C-alpha cells in the first residue's frame, strides 16, 4: 500500500521511552520509498541533563542486561509486565532502582503530535555487517549483535547494540498508535543511549521483518541465530525525524535516552504483525507526560 498519514494510525493506547535533546541540523534525504511522511509535526521538549558517566554506565548495563538476550534471570530479579500488578503503573513500586518510572520527568514514550520545527542534526547510519541473534526475552523479540556499527547523531557516535519491537507503537501521534514500532538501541562510550524509533504500518512486505518473525522463538529465553541480516531494511527516511530527550520505556526507565523517531513508517505484511502479536499482544508502555521538555521536528 502507499503511504499512510497520521490520521490513519491505529487507535490510541499507551507508550513510553526517552532520549536527550541536542542541536539541530538540516534535513537530508532518506533512502526508502518516497512515501508520505507520517508525522506532520513534532513537539519540542526541553531540559535534559546527563547523569554522571558512572551512573549512566550502570543504567546502560542494566538496560542492556534487561533487554538483551535473555540473560538468565538473576535470583531475586523483579518480575514486571505490561498489565496487572506488574504493569506500568506499578513499576516504580516494584524496585527501589525503578523510581524513575514513577517520579521521572523525562519519561518515554510520549505523544509526538505537537512538535516544534527546528533544524535537527543529520542522522547518519554506519551500521556494519554482523552476526545477529534473535531472542525472546519475555517482553519482546529482540535482535542482538556484538559489533554492528554505529550511528552519528548530533555529531556524536553511538554504537548499535540491539533492536526490538513493540505492539502497538509506544509513541503516538495525536493519540493514535501505529500497529508496531521498532527501536534501534545505541550507546556511546559513556553509556548514554540514543534510540531510533521507526513505526511499522500494515500494507506492504518487508522481507527482513518477515524473516525475523519466522525466526522469533516462541518460548521465553530461547534464541535463534539470524546470520548477517541487514537491519537497514527496517529503516525509512532518516532525514525527517522527531527528537526529544527521554527514557527507557521499560524498567528501570533510566532518563538517559536521546530519542529520534522517524516520521516515515516502514510497511510490513499484516500476517507478520499478527505473528508478533500472537506472542506479545501488547508490549507498549502508556505515553508519559511531557512536563517541561521540548519535542523537535524537522
Q: Which parts of this chain interact with Zn ion (CB under 5 A)? A: 183
Q: Which residue is nearest to Zn ion (CB)?
A: 183
Active-site residue, from 14, 139, 166, 171: 139
**Measured between alpha carbons, how far is 224 from 215 in angstroms, rounded to an integer?**
6
User: Catalytic residue at 139?
Assistant: yes
Minimum CB distance to Zn ion smaller for 25 or for 80: 80
CB of 45 to Zn ion, least distance (A): 18
Rg of the chain in Å (alpha carbons): 17
**Measured between alpha carbons, how far is 60 from 49 in angstroms, rounded to an integer?**
16
CA 256 to chain centre: 13
CB of 117 to Zn ion, least distance (A): 26
CB of 82 to Zn ion, least distance (A): 12
Minimum CB distance to Zn ion smaller for 183 or for 263: 183
With b meaning 16 or more CB within 10 Å and e meaning fewer, what string describes 218-240? eeeeebbebeebebeebbbbbbb
* Cell 497520521 sits on residue: 6
Q: Where are the beta strands (DSSP E) in the chain?
A: 116-117, 124-127, 132-136, 141-144, 149-153, 156-166, 180-187, 193-202, 223-227, 241-246, 257-262, 266-268, 296-297
* Cell 557516535 sits on residue: 157
Active site residues: 139
Amino acid at each position: 500500500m502507499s503511504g499512510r498519514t497520521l490520521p490513519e494510525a491505529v487507535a490510541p493506547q499507551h507508550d513510553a521511552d526517552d532520549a536527550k535533546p541536542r542541536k539541530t541540523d538540516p534535513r537530508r534525504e532518506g533512502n526508502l520509498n518516497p512515501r508520505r511522511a507520517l508525522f506532520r509535526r513534532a513537539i519540542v521538549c526541553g531540559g535534559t541533563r546527563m547523569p554522571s558517566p558512572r551512573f549512566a554506565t550502570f543504567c546502560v548495563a542494566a538496560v542492556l542486561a534487561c533487554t538483551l538476550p535473555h540473560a538468565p534471570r538473576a535470583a531475586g530479579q523483579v518480575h514486571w509486565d505490561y498489565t496487572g500488578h506488574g504493569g506500568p503503573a506499578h513499576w516504580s513500586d516494584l524496585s527501589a532502582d525503578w523510581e524513575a518510572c514513577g517520579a521521572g520527568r523525562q519519561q518515554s514514550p510520549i505523544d509526538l503530535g505537537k512538535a516544534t520545527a527546528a533544524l535537527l542534526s543529520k542522522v547518519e547510519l554506519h551500521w556494519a555487517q554482523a552476526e545477529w541473534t534473535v531472542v525472546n526475552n519475555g517482553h519482546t523479540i529482540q535482535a542482538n549483535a556484538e559489533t554492528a556499527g554505529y550511528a552519528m547523531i548530533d555529531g556524536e557516535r553511538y554504537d548499535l547494540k540491539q533492536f526490538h519491537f513493540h505492539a502497538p507503537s509506544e509513541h503516538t501521534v495525536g493519540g493514535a498508535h501505529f500497529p508496531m514500532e521498532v527501536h534501534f538501541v545505541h550507546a556511546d562510550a559513556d553509556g548514554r543511549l540514543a534510540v531510533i524509533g521507526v513505526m511499522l504500518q500494515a500494507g506492504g512486505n518487508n522481507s527482513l521483518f518477515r524473516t525475523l518473525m519466522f525466526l522469533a522463538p516462541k518460548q521465553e529465553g530461547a534464541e535463534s541465530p539470524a546470520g548477517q541480516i541487514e537491519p537497514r531494511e527496517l529503516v525509512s527516511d532518516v532525514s525527517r525525524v522527531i527528537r526529544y530527550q527521554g527514557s527507557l520505556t521499560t524498567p528501570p526507565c533510566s532518563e538517559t535516552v536521546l530519542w529520534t523517531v522517524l516520521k516515515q513508517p516502514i510497511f510490513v505484511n499484516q500476517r507478520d504483525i499478527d505473528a508478533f502479536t500472537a506472542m506479545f499482544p501488547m508490549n507498549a508502555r502508556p505515553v508519559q507526560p511531557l512536563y517541561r521538555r521540548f519535542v523537535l521536528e524537522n
